[in-house]
Structure 1
Amino acid sequence: MTQQGPRKSNTEIAALHWWRIMSDDQLAADHFDGFAQWMDQDPAHKEAFDQISSHHHKSNKNTQTSQTSERASRQTTSRFGWTKVGFGGGAAVAAVALVFLTIATFMPSSPAWQDMTLPDGSVAQFAPGSTFEVAYSDNQRTVHLTNGSVIIDAAKDRVHPLRVVTDLGIVSVVGTRFAVSVMETSMETSVQEGVVRVDADISGAKYVLKPGDRLWTGNADGQIRREALPPQHALELREGWQTFWHASVSDVLDALSRHSGQQFIVLPTDHTNALVSGRFQLTAADQTLSALKMVSGLHVRRVTDVVSVIY
């Protein structure tokens, strides 16, 4: 006799039905009003829909984790749970590549900073939802930052520079206070104290930054930008502010989701593929979405208090 699992409730069946519809861009556009009404009818509807979304989110995250498990030789590994899930395609991608998918969903973890004292006494502050690994040994001090931002007050060690390694470049310091943000299309480095070297992987160029310097490398259009600002503003990310330069709307929504706790369902349109520049308050979702509407022309439809559809 074959054992069957517990029967799903009508709400769970309906939530799965709507999840499948919202995973198809054509169906989602045609049935958005009905979906919004269903979500507003009962708090249990939103809870069931969120559980299904979270299940797929965790499944994607577990797949990514298994692919990196062979890095077990690192002494210290830390991961915090935000992952960007592309519904329908099963891969994490930026909005600029959404032509290959149906819907991208930004699902935030708790919007809280993670403060960590590293083995050498350096202090690292990881922005909400950042994905990273810390690797320390007798001859290396390395933070692998996959996504998000980190502010580091580095302990001095002239023999073993502390390195922040990303897919877009490497930031090296002896002892200083600086910040690094990595996104799908760019990496930003800003310095408050000391001197930092940035090796840009894409161009192969090397840059030396001093207090008050901010550098963007690996942008979507291939350009490099450097600016000077008061050193006291170099680490304004901790107050929720981040300046984007020629960043994709996807990158801004990524950061906004992680810092504000809002969830965004992004439908592929010309507006969501746009590049934007500006200084945004990432803890204030409505304020930032209003600014994005002005600079990129995108549309926002609120589904619940924490879920919006972007198109």
Structure 2
Amino acid sequence: MSQQHSNEINELLLEQASEWLVILSSDECTENDRQAFKQWQQQSPQHQAAAKRMQTMVDNLTQLTHPQNQILPSKIIRDALDDQTKFEFEPPHFIIALLALFTITLAWYLLPIQYWMADSKSSYDGWRNEKLTDHSDIRISGHSAYNLHFDQQQRVVELLDGNILVDVAKDAKRPFVVKTKYAAITALGTRFMINQTDGQTILTMLESKVKVETAQQVQLIYAGQQAVIDVSGKISVKNIAPTLMEQAWNKQSLAVEEMPLDQVLGILQSYHRSKLYYDKKQLHSFRVTAVLPLNDQQKSLNLLQDSLPIQINDSIPWVIYINKKD
């Protein structure tokens, strides 16, 4: 196993452990929840290590924020690790402290500070149009965020995460560039869509063309083409139906043509609060051609499950597992 793959697994397990922290600390936590956590952390030594690391982190955070109560937050995971079935709480001050600690945990592991400080951002169910100072239009949707860097020489949109549809206003003196984690996209025309997800930038050209520059190559992408840029900067291009793509956006839906399932799930994640867990390599071979509703998570996942040999498990609140059927 490569170091990179190992790190991805560790981060995934830490996210799961933090979600268990919320479940176990809830007033609605049941004996079944505690048994489910026990089963989860017994899956492997890595699961146990993730739970213990989360316990240590909670201890450290408590010492920074509420040193007089430092035993209480750590007790949440420690009791579960020790398979104790009785949890003692002291509301409301403990719940308030826990929420503060978990907010910090989310900020560290799940919600980058750049999102909260972005010039523009939207929530998972957000859809809106924005007019820029140069008269360009940006439509933003889902859990998205971007910064603007406009001056007399350039117009740069720094897309941190999420989904935008751009209609670029003409300005011969100032190029219009969208920068993502993996590419710089310079408009040589007007309209295009970008989905920035974990591990990929997806560019869909609606009109005219753009120049894409990555660490590996420079390439022109034309109307009717879709480019996927991966973490290494490799660009993969295929033909699509641009009118269908934009019509779907206008109806708060996602249109995909022969797109690998893991890429589809990456886009869907930005529209849904529940965390989607899946093995990218395992699902990459499945190709999806569909129009999926982005305002109805259950319906979109059901459509995928009905048409592909996959199994969806949503038995844990706010967590959804997507696996290949055995």
Please indicate the TM-score interval, normalised by the length of the shorter structure: 0.5 to 0.7
Quote the Cα distance in structure 1 between the aligned partners of 2:42 and 2:209.
44
CA, structure 1 residues 228+145, in 2 after alignment: closer, same or farther (shift >3 Å)?
same
Candidates 229, 232, 243, aligned match of 2:256: 243
CA contact (8 A) 1:199 1:206 kept: yes
TM (norm. structure 2) is: 0.59
Deviation for aligned residue 1:281: 0.9
CA contact (8 A) 1:182 1:188 kept: yes
Highest CA radius of gyration, 1 or 2? Answer: 2
Pairing 1:150–2:164 present: yes
Candidates 95, 107, 132, aligned match of 1:58: 107
Quote the Cα distance in structure 2 between the aligned partners of 1:231 and 1:273.
26
- 1:173 matched to which residue of 2? 187
Question: Does the residue aligned with 1:292 lie in a helix, a strand or coil?
Answer: helix
Quote the Cα distance in structure 2 between the aligned partners of 1:197 and 1:215.
11
How many correspondences in the alignment? 248
CA contact (8 A) 2:205 2:221 kept: no
Question: Does the residue aligned with 1:167 lie in a helix, a strand or coil?
Answer: coil
CA, structure 1 residues 19+125, in 2 after alignment: closer, same or farther (shift >3 Å)?
farther
- 1:162 matched to which residue of 2? 176
CA contact (8 A) 1:157 1:175 kept: no
Which structure carries more helix by proportion?
A: 2
CA contact (8 A) 1:220 1:248 kept: no
CA contact (8 A) 2:261 2:286 kept: yes
Q: Structure 2: state its 5+ residue gaps.
A: 1-23, 48-94
Cα deviations across residues 70-116 of structure 1 (Å, max 9, x unaligned)? xxxxxx942537xxxxxxxxxxxxxxxxxxxxxxxxxxx44112432
CA, structure 1 residues 253+56, in 2 after alignment: closer, same or farther (shift >3 Å)?
farther
CA contact (8 A) 2:193 2:204 kept: yes
| Equivalent residues in 2 for 1:136-285, closer than 5 Å | 136-173=150-187, 176-193=190-207, 195-210=208-223, 213-219=224-230, 224-229=236-241, 231=243, 233-234=245-246, 236-239=248-251, 240-243=253-256, 246-247=259-260, 249=262, 251-259=263-271, 261-266=272-277, 271=282, 276-283=287-294, 284-285=296-297
Cα deviations across residues 222-246 of structure 1 (Å, max 9, x unaligned)? 5622215254644633421232655
Question: Does the residue aligned with 2:270 lie in a helix, a strand or coil?
Answer: helix
Candidates 302, 310, 316, aligned match of 1:290: 302
Pairing 1:11–2:52 present: no
- 1:94 matched to which residue of 2? none
CA contact (8 A) 2:127 2:140 kept: yes
CA, structure 1 residues 186+304, in 2 after alignment: closer, same or farther (shift >3 Å)?
closer
Once structures 1 and 2 are overlaid, which stretch shifts more, 267-276 or 143-152? 267-276
CA contact (8 A) 1:185 1:248 kept: no
What is the letter of the counterpart of residue 199 of structure 1?
A: V
CA contact (8 A) 1:253 1:264 kept: no
Deviation for aligned residue 1:151: 0.7
Question: Does the residue aligned with 2:172 lie in a helix, a strand or coil?
Answer: coil
- 2:43 matched to which residue of 1? 26
Once structures 1 and 2 are overlaid, which stretch shifts more, 8-17 or 234-243? 8-17
Deviation for aligned residue 1:162: 1.0
CA contact (8 A) 2:260 2:284 kept: no
Quote the Cα distance in structure 2 between the aligned partners of 1:269 and 1:152.
29
Cα deviations across residues 6-53 of structure 1 (Å, max 9, x unaligned)? xx9872887996896587482799xxxxxxxxxxxxxxxxxx9x9687
Bigger relative CO (Cα 8 Å, ≥ 6 apart)? 1
Deviation for aligned residue 1:276: 3.9
CA contact (8 A) 1:167 1:201 kept: no
CA contact (8 A) 2:212 2:221 kept: no
